[in-house]
Amino acid sequence: MKELNHEQEKASQVDQEGSLKHYYVWDRGVRWFHWINVIAVLGLIAVGTVILNATSLGVSSEGKVDLKILHAWIGYVFALNLLWRIIWGFIGSPYARWSAILPGGSGYGGRLKEWLLGVKAGKVPSYRGHNPAARLMLALLFFVLATQMVTGLVLAGTDLYFPPFGHEFAEWATAAGEDHSKLEGLVPGAKEMLDPEGYAAMRRFRAPFIEIHEIGFWVMLLAIFGHIAAVVISEVKERDGLISAMFSGYKVFRDKPKD
């Protein structure tokens, strides 16, 4: 709160030339989430790509299990960071909240139309937070990220017997029921302790989750490239410091932002 009050005092100050105004937009929570998410997603994409191509790359079965374990641990960082951002969307600073991020709300259609007409006319309306079109992209990104988180946690349970669902999947695959002594010594990749029927049923349950996870992987790649392209184009055309704002928290404008 102290940080926000301090930054609000500095917001809208005119620089020495009197041509630009600096607006504080992204609080530390948003900036930390963004860069942790970038690093985690890049790590997940890199390891996931190797897992998908393990056979052609000559990765052994043991090596593939190790890669899945690494993928899961990076996934936990990704999931905790995303869950924290979801909470921050309800309690964070004004431009961090879902009402300022997701499309919809009173007058949204009119603002989107005005923004598109501005793009066509070569005079794009400035927004301190996300413009109406960017909100659509962010809705897609957050949906895909959430889908990858949920399906990834299920797959970590079915493949590695990792939390939060691993114990239940291990009981299912071994037909242990309440006899937890049957789970002692169960490790990822080991099949000698598995119950054939239980394991087959568990794998059938797993099948749609892995399919959704793989589709989400490709959709996420497309969404990331689209997001990067939109940011670069916006930075070049609008010159509002969009990229540097994710480090400093400030965006700069010559005209007063719409929001």
Of 15 and 50, the one with more pLDDT: 50
C-alpha torsion sign, points 93, 94, 100, 106: positive
CB atoms closer than 10 angstroms to residue 13: 12
CA atoms within 13 A on the CB side of 26: 23
Distance of CA 165 to the CA centre of its chain: 21
* Residue 20, pLDDT above cutoff 80: no
Residue whose C-alpha is closest to residue 82's, from 32, 42, 126 = 32
pLDDT of residue 16: 44
Residue whose C-alpha is closest to residue 72's, from 240, 188, 236 = 188
Whole-number Å distance between alpha carbons of 38 and 121: 34
pLDDT of residue 181: 63
Average pLDDT of every residue of the chain:
85
Confidence of residue 255 (pLDDT cuts 50, 70, 90): confident
Domains of the chain (ranges; CATH) run 2-253 (1.20.950.20)
**103-124, pLDDT tens digit by residue?**
988 889 999 998 888 888 878 8
* Residue 205, pLDDT above cutoff 80: yes
User: What is the H or E stretch that residue 253 is in?
Assistant: strand 250-253
Q: Are 72 and 156 in contact (CB under 8 A)?
A: yes
Pairing outcome for strands 13-14 and 250-253: unpaired
Whole-number Å distance between alpha carbons of 96 and 30: 7
> What are the φ and ψ backbone dihedral angles of 13, each rounded to 5 degrees?
-75, 135
> What are the φ and ψ backbone dihedral angles of 24, each rounded to 5 degrees?
-80, 125
Whole-number Å distance between alpha carbons of 241 and 252: 6
**81-98, pLDDT tens digit by residue?**
999 999 999 999 999 999
**3-class DSSP state for residue 185?**
coil
Among 75-84, 154-163, 170-179, 247-256, top mean pLDDT goes to 75-84
